[in-house]
Chains A and B, each alone.
Chain A
Amino acid sequence: MTRFLLWLLGGVVLGGIIHIVVILTLPALAEQSLWSRVADIEADNRMVILPRVVAGEPNPLGLDPALAYGLCRVDLANGPAYVSGVLPEGFWSVALFNPSGIVTYSTTNRDGIGKTLELGIFNAAQTRLLAQQQLDIAEGLLVVESASDELLILVRLAPPHQVMRTRFEQELSEVECGTRN
């Protein structure tokens, strides 16, 4: 009996180890990632409006049908990135996704920024350089330090009503995004 319980305990411990290994390796084993799903969208250094979510159609990116989405892909190896533009009156938010699909930075316009979206994104080396040069940072410019060079920038914009959506998407597509040398 004792031997049986010992074997059982051994099985449970081994199961625990398998569980930990599965959970830790799962992100690396996934066939599809956020990045592979948006790989076909030509969003390099420009703001692209993602297609609207339609009822009955697949929605792999998990987008909210009520919102307009602008996506921009940047590589900080080419220089610091910027996002600059004026958005219409309404709720909007920005999120930066690293290559693992994790949100490394996010903010909303309730944080006192209002309608203007001014974001400067720097990697560690560029941040150091920026600090050394002791430049005056313009008021309203958000300086974000990123640990990874490759980033997806996603702007969510919520039109108060669906009839305003086309205009909101137009204004969102005029937001400038890219890297500066």
Chain B
Amino acid sequence: MRFVLYLLMMIVVALGVGFGLSYYALTDGRLFGVAQVGPWHAWPDVGANAPNPYTRGHLARTAAFELGQSEGLQFTATTDSDGQPLTRDCAYRIDGRTPLATFWTLVALDEAGINIAAPDVAPAMRSSAIARTDDGSIVINVGTRLLPLNWLELTGEGPFKLVLTLYDTAAFSGFSSDASMPVIIRGSCA
């Protein structure tokens, strides 16, 4: 009797660890090849010609045109800098500096990867088309309700994610400079 119970427990633990760890590795993946800078995360070797097995799994899950290593790097944020999930009930401020790049674009996507910019505005915000502060840093307001300065206007409701794509960032090779990615600060909520 005891043998059967132990066997069942072993099987449950094995399945839980095996599939749970795999799911974690390919979604959050912080311990497995995902680089984290503040709320932003990226798969640094997604554009390498010999990616590690975890990145291969990620590539198989997205099945999208990823950026090659010399073309740039894509960062995704699903939470603000305090770790709260991004939701369209709230307004957010993206504030700070980005790593050196020829240019970057910022888009907001829902959980299915569909662009959620308001219908009449450009679906992406481009680094060359925003007003900057005197010291060259960026301030972008993101939300569904009217916001001042650079406003990435969203539509709909529910959770969302922000994708910052840096083009031609060969200079950005080490992930030591935490301060170089902008922070995401939650503002007022509905």
Binding site for B on A (CB under 8 A): 3-4, 7-8, 10-12, 14-19, 21-24, 26-27, 29-30, 32-34, 36-37, 53-67, 69, 91, 93, 95, 97, 100-108, 110-111, 154, 156, 158, 160-162
A106 to B21, CA, bound (A): 32
A69 CB contact (under 8 Å) in B59, B65, B69, B128: B65
Residues on B with beta carbons closer than 8 Å to the beta carbon of A27: 56-57, 59-60
Is B85 at the interface (CB under 8 A from chain A)?
no
Is B18 at the interface (CB under 8 A from chain A)?
yes
Chain A to chain B: the 3 pairs with minimum beta-carbon distance, closest first: A106-B68, A15-B17, A18-B18
Listed A/B pairs (28) with beta-carbon separation below 8 Å = A7-B9, A14-B13, A14-B18, A15-B15, A18-B14, A18-B19, A19-B19, A26-B22, A26-B57, A27-B60, A30-B63, A55-B123, A57-B115, A59-B114, A63-B64, A65-B107, A91-B103, A93-B70, A93-B167, A101-B63, A102-B56, A103-B48, A103-B67, A103-B69, A108-B70, A108-B102, A108-B167, A110-B102
Q: Given contacts A93-B71, A103-B69, is CB(A58)–CB(B112) below 8 Å?
A: yes
A66 CB contact (under 8 Å) in B13, B18, B63, B126: B126
B19 CB contact (under 8 Å) in A7, A22, A33, A34: A22
Residues on B with beta carbons closer than 8 Å to the beta carbon of A110: 102, 168
A60 to B35, CA, bound (A): 23
**Beta-carbon contact of A3 and B113 below 8 Å:** no
A interface secondary structure, majority: mixed
In the complex, how many angstroms separate the beta carbon of B142 from the nearest chain A beta carbon?
A: 14
| B68 and chain A: residue at smallest CB distance | A106
B49 CB contact (under 8 Å) in A17, A101, A105: A105
| A111 and chain B: residue at smallest CB distance | B70
Is B53 at the interface (CB under 8 A from chain A)?
yes
Q: Mark B129-147, 1 if CB is under 8 A from A, else 0.
A: 1000000000000000000
